[in-house]
């Protein structure tokens, strides 16, 4: 009987907290509409589980611990809600890569707290905050922590649990932010340094070759780590890793419509030299228009050659056949070379996707990571 009463009491406390959090979100709609608009993308759930002692988000929900929420004031509760939303906005749950998890958690809290303090003009007691770090990215802050230049005060700590995001959720947030950047009047009202921080995450000004190399390295089947490009090759315009010995497995899809033919050799040239930096690789090479035209397996024993390609310039474009193929033949990642002139399903595949767009093609895609070929003719041509 007592247990039943306790459960009923907990349920009432949870319902009360959820109502309060909805009111907080309404308050933010009036004061911080950009943040609140994105907060509407997250369900709110009150928890009593000690695995979430404060708050957390997985990109789908914001979780608030009842006891934690009852122990803080209204300003702090709204700050924490803002904090969770901006973790999603800044892609913190997926930017860690191979960095030390503990230092990364501190770095991302420094970055997001600086953003929230600037928006709300408030910082909770004990939250990680240093005014000197305003405008610095989590990666820059991590470097300062890693080399000992920055040390968090013993009286400060992370506000929340940092949970993992599913691949589908990551793609959805990329869509949410890109849509907000393009269509929301409230985005333009954000402070310029915050807009620059968002643009640095979603529109990184990196050469397409660098992004291709970085994407391929993420799919390493051996130990995953970052390699700086070899300086011996940079003068040639090639971004190659320093070390050999790892094995990569990847799927490459080529749109063989006529508009892509002219720049295909540039893309294939960089792909060839990039694969040459690895001792072992297996790349599934797909050519498609409205259907799959060919599938070739590229390995060191069967390297990229002219015979693999037949750019017929056929009419029409539909990539669904490629996505159906990778469902049947799982892959760590998909690189798609195309002009982007295609209608896509709103549901992305459950693998990382990099779109390499022609210089005169679309400027964005509804999901996935995007880069464009430069219009310069100085890029390395492809040779068999």
What are 322-360's pLDDT values in tens digits?
Answer: 999 999 998 888 999 988 888 787 778 888 888 888 887
How confident is the model at residue 234, as a pLDDT? 45
Tell me what the mean pLDDT of segment 306-316 comes to. Answer: 60
Q: β-strand 61-65 against 43-47: which pairing, if any?
A: parallel
Residue 384 has pLDDT above 50, yes or no: no
52-61 b/e with 16+ CB inside 10 Å = b?
A: bebbbbbbbe
* Greater model confidence, 66 or 341: 66
pLDDT classification of 382: cutoffs 50, 70, 90: very low
* Greater model confidence, 198 or 377: 198
User: In terms of DSSP H, where are the helices of the chain?
Assistant: 2-31, 33-39, 66-70, 74-89, 101-120, 138-146, 167-183, 192-202, 208-218, 231-234, 258-275, 320-328
How confident is the model at residue 64, as a pLDDT? 95
How confident is the model at residue 91, as a pLDDT? 87
How confident is the model at residue 274, as a pLDDT? 76
Whether pTM exceeds 0.75 = no
How confident is the model at residue 125, as a pLDDT? 92
Query: What separation in angstroms does the CA of 266 have from each of 93, 210, 245, 364, 383?
Result: 34, 14, 26, 20, 10
How confident is the model at residue 111, as a pLDDT? 95
342-378 b/e with 16+ CB inside 10 Å = b?
A: beeeeebbebbbbbbbbeebeebbbbbbbbbbeeeee
pLDDT classification of 159: cutoffs 50, 70, 90: confident
Residue with tokens 């649990």: 161
* Greater model confidence, 28 or 183: 28
Q: Domains, the chain, ranges and CATH?
A: 2-202 (no CATH), 208-372 (3.40.50)
Residue 114 has pLDDT above 90, yes or no: yes
Residue 243 has pLDDT above 60, yes or no: no
Tell me what the mean pLDDT of segment 166-193 comes to. Answer: 86
Rounded Cα distance between 118 and 116, Å, is 5
* Greater model confidence, 5 or 226: 5
Cα dihedral value 365, 213, 380, 311, nearest 10? -50
The C-alpha angle 328, 212, 295, rounded to 5 degrees, equals: 35
Lowest mean pLDDT segment, chosen from 15-29, 164-178, 206-220, 352-366:
206-220
CA within 13 Å, CB half, 51: 4
Cα dihedral value 209, 215, 217, 221, nearest 10? -150
How confident is the model at residue 310, as a pLDDT? 63
Percent of the chain with pLDDT over 70: 83
Nearest residue to 280 (alpha-carbon basis) of 298, 297, 300, 250 = 300
């Amino acid at each position: 009987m007592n247990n039943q009463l306790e459960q009923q009491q907990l349920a009432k406390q949870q319902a009360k907290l959820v109502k309060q959090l909805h009111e907080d979100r309404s308050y933010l709609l009036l004061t911080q509409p950009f943040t609140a608009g994105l907060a509407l993308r997250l369900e709110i759930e009150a928890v009593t589980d000690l695995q979430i002692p404060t708050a957390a988000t997985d990109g789908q929900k914001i979780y608030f611990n009842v006891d934690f929420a009852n122990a803080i004031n209204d300003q702090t509760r709204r700050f924490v809600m803002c904090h969770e939303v901006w973790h999603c906005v800044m892609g913190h749950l997926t930017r860690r890569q191979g960095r030390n998890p503990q230092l990364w958690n501190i770095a991302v809290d420094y970055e997001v707290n600086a953003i929230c303090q600037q928006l709300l003009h408030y910082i909770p007691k004990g939250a990680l905050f240093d005014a000197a770090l305003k405008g610095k990215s989590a990666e820059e802050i991590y470097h300062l922590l890693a080399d000992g230049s920055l040390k968090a005060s013993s009286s400060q700590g992370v506000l929340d649990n940092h949970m993992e995001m599913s691949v589908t959720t990551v793609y959805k947030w990329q869509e949410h932010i890109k849509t907000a950047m393009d269509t929301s009047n409230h985005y333009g009202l954000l402070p310029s340094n915050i807009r620059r921080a968002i643009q640095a995450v979603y529109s990184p000004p990196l050469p397409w070759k660098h992004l291709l190399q970085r994407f391929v390295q993420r799919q390493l089947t051996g130990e995953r780590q970052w390699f700086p490009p070899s300086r011996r090759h940079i003068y040639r315009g090639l971004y190659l890793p320093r070390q050999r010995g790892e094995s990569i497995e990847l799927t490459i899809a080529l749109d063989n419509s006529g508009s892509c033919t002219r720049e295909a050799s540039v893309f294939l040239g960089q792909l060839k030299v990039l694969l040459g930096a690895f001792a072992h690789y297996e790349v599934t090479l797909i050519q498609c228009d409205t259907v799959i035209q060919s599938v070739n397996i590229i390995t060191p024993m069967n390297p990229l050659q002219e015979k693999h390609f037949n750019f017929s310039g056929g009419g029409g474009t539909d990539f669904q056949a490629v996505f159906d193929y990778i469902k049947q033949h799982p892959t760590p990642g998909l690189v798609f070379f195309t002009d982007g002139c295609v209608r896509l399903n709103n549901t992305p595949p459950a693998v990382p996707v990099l779109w390499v767009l022609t210089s005169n093609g679309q400027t964005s895609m509804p999901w996935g990571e995007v880069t464009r070929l430069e219009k310069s003719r100085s890029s390395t041509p492809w040779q068999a």
